Amino acid sequence: MCGRFRFRGELREDELKHIPGLEIRSAFPPRYNIAPTQMSPVIRSTVGGGHEVEALRWGLVPFWAKDQSFGSKAINARSETVTEKPAFRAAFKSRRCLVLSHGFFEWENLPDKKKQPWLFTLPGQGLMVFAGLWESWKPKDTAPDTPRTETFTILTTTATTRGAWIHDRFPVILEPEDWLHWMDDAISPQELARLVEKVQTGRAATEMNQWPVTPKMNTVKYEAPDAVKPLSQDQ
């Protein structure tokens, strides 16, 4: 699964060159410990055929949900069943997005029942893009001008090679040449399966860096630069 991740805070043009004409209207601060229900930037298609970066709330809330608490149960969507599950199938058809990160965290179970957090990044700690879905929700029987809550979820797949030792599920990390394709509404379940297979055998599966980080990361409230630094032997 993917339950926490980080975002460096800067979006470089060279990293986003595969999305021509991308609108970045806001600056996004660095985040060292993004947790469910918090805001984080995603890229999505616009009505005019372009693309934009917006901060959405992590934890997908489908349009039919009674309240926003549903989102805490939908931070991840299994790629194998995303086209069938009621919470995700509508978003899969027309509301796909790219979740921007620079690495994600998983927890190792230690013999003393403690948990050791590990950070997984691409080489050079470059931009790591997850396949995501987004939704727009507001309470029923409210005024037409009631603000809508926009939320997202991260697709996951079976963990392979570099990370399978710590967890059996990993986020679907897309290669740059597949970013636009993923946001294409015409993509089929068969094409999704092809993209996932590529993830399981590609650079994200075989070249990811990984290192233990401070146990302070065991709380979602911890937010400091040392959250992503390798844990020293004397800690």
pLDDT tens-digit map of 69-82: 999 999 999 999 99
Q: Is residue 147 situated within a structural domain?
A: yes
Interval 160-204: pLDDT, tens: 877 889 999 999 999 999 999 899 877 788 888 888 888 877 777
Residue 215 has pLDDT above 60, yes or no: yes
Q: Of these residues, 54, 106, 135, 150, which one is catalytic?
A: 106
Q: Domain for residue 128, yes or no?
A: yes
Catalytic residue from among 2, 54, 135, 150:
2
Distance CA 92, CA 133 (A): 6
The tens digit of pLDDT for each residue in 15-63 reads 898 998 888 888 899 999 999 999 999 999 998 888 999 999 999 999 9
- The total of other beta-carbon atoms located within 10 Å of residue 195's CB is 21
> Would the pTM of this model clear 0.75, i.e. be above it?
yes
User: Does 106 fall in a domain?
Assistant: yes
The parent domain of residue 46 ranges over 5-228
161 lies in a domain?
Answer: yes
Within-domain flag for 184: yes
Spatial separation of the C-alpha atoms in residues 107 and 3, rounded to whole Å: 10
Q: Can you give the pLDDT at residue 234?
A: 43
Q: Residue 207 maps to which CATH number?
A: 3.90.1680.10
Residue 2 is among the residues annotated as catalytic for this protein: yes
Q: What is the number of structural domains in the chain?
A: 1
Side-chain-side CA neighbours of 181 within 13 Å: the count stands at 12
